[in-house]
Amino acid sequence: MPQTRRVEAPAIVYTQSGDVSIAYAISGQGPPDIVFVHGYIGNLEVEWDEPGHVAFFTKLAAANRVIRFDRRGSGLSDRVRDVPTLETRMDDLRAVMDAAGSSRAVVVATFEAAAMAMLFAATYPERVAGLVLFYPLAKGVWAPDYPFAPTEDDYRDEFEQIRTGWGGPQQAQRFVREGAPSLVGDAQFVAWATRMFRQGASPGAALALRRMVMNVDVRDVLPSIHVPTLIVHTSVRRDESEYIAERIPGARRLELGGRERVFWLAEGFPDAITDFARAVWGAPEPDTLLATVLFTDIVASTAKAAELGDRLWRDLIERHHAVVRAQLDRHRGREIETAGDGFFATFDGPIRAIECAVAIRAAVRELGLEIRAGLHTGECELIGEKPGGIAVNLGARVAAKAGSGEVLVSQTVKDLVAGSGITFEDRGVAELKGIPGTWRLYAVEQTS
């Protein structure tokens, strides 16, 4: 009987994201470029030992340039001690795209990786030609208004299973029953899945990755996604996909045949990706983006100016501005406007924005000054090069509510930095001048 010719695995190379090495591989020729981010764990080498996986990516690479990578903490990429935040994982995706020479790509993401991809698409729309999400999630833990996610008790049970049975045959068999029912009883596939778990992550790394999933909540981001979006699922557990599709403007939903929830076995999935990529490639970039806005100003500046006199006050303001700009540079902030003693800046990540605000607070105290600061993450309209819109107004109103030495943030900011180690004190619900409704605000207590 003739042997099936083995498809040669693409070369695996590394790039740096901060101080972490990320393994990635490229196959096929573009355009379009497809960046594939799969959920949970993986291993670029072990994946290529599974025929269905090889068939999926070989077909996808026949019509596209496909870029795959092992996420930090899994596979061939560096193990990490800390729970990776969404912001850090966005940095990893951007680092891989830069290393691969991909200025813009269709981003395909599965399961919890979809949360990061959605945030990435909203934050960097110029780099995302389109978004394909397979069984996406927007929140990690069950809530009355999000009943699709596991409960905290479910996670506790899962954590115990990881501690006691990671990489064992029972785990692989459960994976097959839930994700690939057509392969139940296939001993070869179960053996491969067992090896994938063992070589995809250690038990400690797997726990860190699952804790990261618990912290996810990007529901507020969904209306800010304006790149073409396709949400794909099979006939099993479609409710969460429907929920997300309804909240992303213009998103299209596709139900594939079969009951497989392992992405490479989903019937027709590579063709669906290719058709979508061809349709959206070359579409204009959206004129909005998701950004974290930061407003600061000096507390009691009028009294301080009167105390010092014009010349000394002017010298102090120049030193204040130099300190603020140094911290903006350090934390990748972009200065938008300076009015008197206040700054308006934007960031591509709320963690960096909070850390910058806290650093500014500490630095200006050495000058004998106190600031107040306010932050909000939201959709900004681009008016030329300058961001505008309600998100900017909301950030300014949050800052106006801050007390002396206080860094105040909106609920959206707090939700997006969950798992970062930053702690907050609830400041209750407030009305913000000119902004409809009420808004829950939080003061930053401690950064990581």
Mean pLDDT, consecutive 10-residue stretches, the chain (448 aa), reads 65 96 95 93 94 95 97 92 88 98 97 96 96 97 95 94 89 90 92 93 90 92 96 93 97 93 93 97 88 95 90 93 96 92 94 96 94 96 86 94 95 91 93 87 88
Question: What confidence score (pLDDT) does residue 120 get?
Answer: 97
> Looking at residue 73, which CATH number applies to its domain?
3.40.50.1820
Q: How far apart are the first and last CA of the chain?
A: 61
pTM attached to this predicted model = 0.91
190 Cβ partners below 8 Å, 6+ apart?
Answer: 169, 172, 173, 176, 183
E strand map for 70-208: 105-110, 128-134
> Looking at residue 395, which CATH number applies to its domain?
3.30.70.1230
Of 258, 280, 302, the last residue of a domain is 280
Q: Is residue 5 part of a domain?
A: no
Both 257 and 155 in one domain: the answer is yes
Both 141 and 260 in one domain: the answer is yes
Tokens of 262: 């392992």
Is residue 408 within 8 Å of residue 398, measured between CB atoms? Answer: yes
Is residue 360 within 8 Å of residue 371, measured between CB atoms? Answer: yes
Question: What confidence score (pLDDT) does residue 2 get?
Answer: 40
Question: What confidence score (pLDDT) does residue 113 get?
Answer: 95
Both 144 and 167 in one domain: the answer is yes
Q: Is residue 1 part of a domain?
A: no
Both 230 and 367 in one domain: the answer is no
Both 72 and 211 in one domain: the answer is yes
Report which DSSP code applies to 58: H
Both 110 and 155 in one domain: the answer is yes
Question: What confidence score (pLDDT) does residue 81 get?
Answer: 77
Both 39 and 91 in one domain: the answer is yes
Question: What confidence score (pLDDT) does residue 409 get?
Answer: 97
Helix, strand or coil for residue 69?
A: strand
Q: Is residue 3 part of a domain?
A: no
Both 190 and 250 in one domain: the answer is yes
Report which DSSP code applies to 223: G
Of 280, 301, 335, the last residue of a domain is 280
Is residue 330 within 8 Å of residue 409, measured between CB atoms? Answer: no
Question: What confidence score (pLDDT) does residue 371 get?
Answer: 95
Range of the domain at 440: 288-446
413 Cβ partners below 8 Å, 6+ apart?
Answer: 292, 350, 353, 354, 375, 376, 377, 442
CA distances in angstroms from 21 to 13, 210, 282, 340, 414, listed in the order given? 10, 21, 31, 43, 29
Both 292 and 243 in one domain: the answer is no
